[in-house]
């Protein structure tokens, strides 16, 4: 996952990264990795020039398919608002 985030910093899209559906922007990316203990996800945004904001990292525990759970999406939306506010403050 670290390599995929480094690729994002370089302006590249890693093969394991894809746009997160349901967020309304292609600038919200998701990295998925699986191992013997489960599925892990890192959600980040490249919407703000020159910055990569990691919004959330978690182990997916939902048993209802591959969809991102609603509570995780709510948290992502809140953190995206915080990231945009921070970006605005540092780019005045």
Which pLDDT score, from 0 to 100, does residue 45 have? 93
Confidence tier at 15 by pLDDT (50, 70, 90): very high
pTM: 0.84
First to last CA, the chain: 31
The pLDDT value recorded for residue 70 is 82
Tens of pLDDT along 51-85? 999 999 988 876 667 777 788 888 999 999 999 99
The pLDDT mean for the chain works out to 87
* Tokens 């209802």 found at: 64
pLDDT confidence band for 38 (50 / 70 / 90): confident
């Amino acid at each position: 996952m670290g390599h995929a985030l480094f690729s994002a910093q370089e302006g590249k899209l890693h093969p394991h990264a894809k746009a997160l559906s349901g967020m309304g922007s292609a600038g919200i990316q998701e990295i998925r990795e699986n191992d013997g203990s489960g599925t892990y996800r890192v959600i980040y945004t490249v919407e703000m020039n020159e910055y990569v904001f990691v919004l959330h990292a978690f182990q997916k525990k939902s048993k209802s398919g591959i969809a991102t759970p609603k509570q995780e999406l709510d948290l992502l939306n809140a953190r995206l608002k915080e990231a945009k506010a921070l970006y605005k403050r540092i780019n005045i």
